[in-house]
Amino acid sequence: MKESIKVRLKQLQRISGRIFRSRLLVLMGVFCLTSSMLVCRCFYLQIIKGEEYAEEYELRIKKTEEIKATRGNIYDRNGNLLAYNELAYSITIEDPTSSDSPVSERNETINAILEQVLEIVEENGDSVINSFGITLDSSGNYQFSQTNETQRLRFVADVYGYSSADDLTDEQKNQTADDIIEYLCTDEIYGYGLDYNGSDPGYILDMVNMRYAMHLNSYQKYMSTTIATGVSRETAAAVMENKDVLTGVDIAEDSVRKYTDSEVFSSIIGYTGQISEEEYSALSDEEQENRSRSGGQQ
């Protein structure tokens, strides 16, 4: 009886040993396979795709911002001042919303901030930017500011996000200034969520000017957008006092070029200024940005 029990125990030991060894082999196989996969993946990420991923990562974390340099004074040979800089204040804003937020929520947040800025600016006798291609005529109606049809179509193409006016449909080409404003105010996807029919045209145009400027800078949300230039000290102080509720809004110090006798010396010693529509059209083949500056040498 005892011998049979011993035999069975030995058999069980042999069987358990085989099972243990087989499991160990399987475990070692899984470990080797996993290690090989990790090595191959690391080789792919670091050697094959390393440079590409490094460039993509750098693009995500690298933020390029232009800082304007202060231009020096210009004197004649007798020490008389011909050109100098004058301190000026601008109002800037960084988009305070998340790109993942619903369009209606983003519009509500941004519009509320811009309305407060607009109120402060107008209370102190200043105005916001007016770089949009639509203005108000003497009767308070919307009109295109472009001087010819080619420029008007180029502007309409920019509004709809086309690289060329040839991409516009016939309906889009024939749209009026009112149609463009209504589109920017009410479109469910690209609109700014403004009350087109129930608001004053001047208010709508000011809001569209600011929203469109922010839209042009939307691909670089970390970059601030200028929404008012040359504002008074009172306006700058009021904005700074309300920064706790004006999320993303700030005051930027800039310099304005001044000339002792501007009509004479600006042409002689050179000047810079915002590029005109005619110059922009002439240089469009070189894809020069509309914000770039041109002028004489200095």
Span 237-274, pLDDT tens digits: 999 999 999 999 999 988 888 888 766 666 666 666 66
Q: What is the pLDDT of residue 53?
A: 80
Note the pLDDT of residue 266.
64
Global confidence as pTM: 0.66
117 or 99, which is more confident? 117
Secondary structure of the chain as H, E, C letters: CHHHHHHHHHHHHHHHHHHHHHHHHHHHHHHHHHHHHHHHHHHHHHHHCHHHHHHHHHHHHCCCCCCCCCCCCEECCCCCEEEEEEEEEEEEECCCCCCCCCHHHHHHHHHHHHHHHHHHHHHCCCCCCCCCCEEECCCCCEEECCCCHHHHHHHHHHHHCCCCHHHCCHHHHCCCHHHHHHHHHHCCCCCCCCCCCCCCHHHHHHHHHHHHHHHHCHHHCCCCEEEEEEECHHHHHHHHHCCCCCCCEEEEEEEEEEECCHHHHHHHHCCEEECCHHHHHHCHHHCCCCCCEEECCC
What is the predicted pLDDT for the residue at 3?
A: 61
- The more confidently predicted of residues 257 and 192 is 192
* Band (192; pLDDT cuts 50, 70, 90): very high
pLDDT attached to residue 2: 55
Mean pLDDT of the chain: 82
Mean pLDDT throughout 26-46?
85
Q: What pLDDT is attached to residue 147?
A: 78
- pLDDT at 80 > cutoff 90: no
Residue 216 has pLDDT above 80, yes or no: yes
Calculate what percentage of the chain has a pLDDT beyond 70.
76
- Residue 293 pLDDT exceeds 50: no
pLDDT, residue 284, reads 57
pLDDT at 296: 45
Give the per-residue pLDDT at 288: 45
**Residue pLDDT, tens place only, 85-112:** 888 899 999 988 887 888 889 999 999 9
Which pLDDT does position 206 carry in this prediction?
94
